[in-house]
Amino acid sequence: MLPTATMLDAKVPRYTSYPTAPHFHSGLGPETARQWISKLPAGKPVSLYLHIPFCDRLCWFCACHTKQTLRYEPVSAYLRVLQAEIATIGRLLDGHVPVGAIHLGGGSPTMLRPNDLIALGAYLRNALHVLPDADISIEIDPNDMDDQRLDALAEFGTTRASLGIQDFDPRVQEAINRLQSFEQTAYAVDGARARGINSVNLDLLYGLPHQTVESATATFRQALHLAPDRMALFGYAHVPWMKKHQTQIKDEWLPDGMERYAQSEAVRALALDAGYRAIGIDHFAMPGDTLTLASIQGRLRRNFQGYSADQCDAIIGLGPSAISQFAQGYLQNTPATGDYTRRIEDEGLATVRGVALSEDDRVRRWVIEKLMCDFRFSSDDAIRRFGALAGDVIMQAKHLAAMESDRLCEWRDHGFDVTPKGRPFVRLIAARFDTYFSAAPTRHSAAV
């Protein structure tokens, strides 16, 4: 069966959290953050996410929270404020809660001058108890890279590098205002590896303007020459009502739902053929990769950075717009850098919104994460974790499976399964368990 146009054009969340960010609300601030941090179990590692909201170029397709700047002064000023936030978190964790993973995202963290990146690393290790074997990952814009920056990545202690490619086709690159040669990308990958950074991820997109099955698969084949350990294949999220610069991309340049589906399926087939294992909805990893092992062993996690093998339950987000995740719920910093600066200077933290989880939210958060990671959840597992509270969601899953005429999901072996046919539409299936989504639909990107 081919997917219907309704399925392909449906707009649903990407479920990197539950409830999703549009359902966060005001009323949760630094007081809640201090309280939730104080409840973190001593000795159990947490993860940190540090947001760098700057880029030295602006790609028209980009949906990240970033600002283009050609001057470095705003970046230096920002780093001083970020240090103040790190210092606050350091005082709150008080050495009792170690840091097991640090992710530097953006924007483009590689915009930082080499000495600033090294100084940031030293500051983090001074203010916090960063474990010696902590996972340190960084998002890299290959166009930023030179020998000094590559050296700085190594000195920062980077263990994983994630590089943006998107597409190598010149026509596509021109339409998204992102010129990037294969040679410059290869230089960044090889340079990272030569400095001992052994885990390399590459980001690819489908559904971009002027992209075709041929151009998407040609890009994939080129990327394969770089022998990445992991690849992410995201569908381009066209959300011009949220990101004004995306209006530079004309609607008529975009492939339709059926073409997007064909592109993603073609690249997917090549990835599997090349020996990668599919991870969740949009990742591929080599057989021995930690992401693959986590996926096989049912330990794969999904958070704001996508899929992760990181087992830390709590993530503390620093920087404007950064989201923190706790057992109690989610908290988000103010998005505007000016407001963030004022709040950090006044209160040491910049939390302005979030959501505290109800008991029902906790069950559904687990179910949706399981579906997005494993395409399945077992009723025994749900009952073991949540007792009688799991009853509603199990009943709903059985009902959904019984009503499903296209066999996209089924109830089998005491569990709810998304069938191989249903996997490309797992976001649509997850949305059926999302009480907020059915109550108040908001605008999202295409499901496929």
Ligand X SMILES: C[S@@+](CC[C@H](N)C(=O)[O-])C[C@H]1O[C@@H](n2cnc3c(N)ncnc32)[C@H](O)[C@@H]1O
By the rule CB under 6 A, 201 interacts with ligand SF4? no
CA–CA gap between residue 177 and residue 143 (Å, rounded): 13
Q: Least distance (Å) from ligand X to the CB of residue 443?
A: 14
By the rule CB under 6 A, 184 interacts with ligand SF4? no
By the rule CB under 6 A, 237 interacts with ligand X? yes
**Quick check: bond before 19 cis, omega within 30?**
yes
The answer to whether the CB of 49 falls within 8 A of the CB of 316 is: yes
Interacting residue with ligand SF4 among 7, 64, 270, 336 (CB under 6 A) = 64
* Of the candidates 16, 22, 19, 14, the residue with the CA atom closest to the CA atom of residue 362: 19
CA–CA gap between residue 207 and residue 327 (Å, rounded): 35
For ligand X, the closer of residues 141 and 310 by Cβ is: 141
Q: Least distance (Å) from ligand X to the CB of residue 341?
A: 21
Q: Which residues pair with 140 in a beta bridge?
A: 163
For ligand SF4, the closer of residues 26 and 71 by Cβ is: 71
By the rule CB under 6 A, 209 interacts with ligand SF4? no
Please, what sign has the CA dihedral across residues 303, 309, 310, 314?
A: positive
Show the site string, 30-59: x = touches ligand SF4 by CB under 6 A, - = not. -------------------------x-xxx
Which run of H or E residues covers position 101? Answer: strand 99-106
Q: Which does 57 bind (CB under 5 to 8 A by kind): ligand SF4, ligand X, none?
A: ligand SF4
For ligand X, the closer of residues 108 and 215 by Cβ is: 108
Assigned token pair, 59:
């790609």
By the rule CB under 6 A, 205 interacts with ligand X? yes
By the rule CB under 6 A, 234 interacts with ligand X? yes
What are the distances in angstroms from CA 52 to CA 64, 67, 96, 117?
A: 11, 10, 27, 11
Interacting residue with ligand X among 15, 236, 366, 386 (CB under 6 A) = 236
Give the Cβ contact number of residue 38 at 10 Å.
11
What number of chain residues touch ligand SF4 (CB under 6 A)?
Answer: 12
The answer to whether the CB of 230 falls within 8 A of the CB of 43 is: no
Question: Collapsing DSSP states into helix, strand and coil, what is residue 405?
Answer: coil
- Residues 131-150 binding ligand X (CB under 6 A) are 139, 141
By the rule CB under 6 A, 245 interacts with ligand SF4? no
DSSP 389: G
What are the distances in angstroms from CA 42 to CA 93, 96, 98, 126, 402?
A: 9, 5, 8, 19, 45
Q: Which does 205 bind (CB under 5 to 8 A by kind): ligand X, ligand SF4, none?
A: ligand X
What number of chain residues touch ligand X (CB under 6 A)?
Answer: 18
Q: How far apart are the first and last CA of the chain?
A: 16
Q: Of how many residues is the chain composed?
A: 448
Q: Which does 58 bind (CB under 5 to 8 A by kind): ligand X, ligand SF4, none?
A: ligand SF4
Interacting residue with ligand X among 48, 62, 104, 118 (CB under 6 A) = 62
Residues that bind ligand SF4 (CB under 6 A): 55, 57-59, 62, 64, 66, 106-108, 141, 164
Binding residues vs ligand X (CB under 6 A): 55, 61-64, 105-108, 139, 141, 164, 166, 203, 205, 234, 236-237
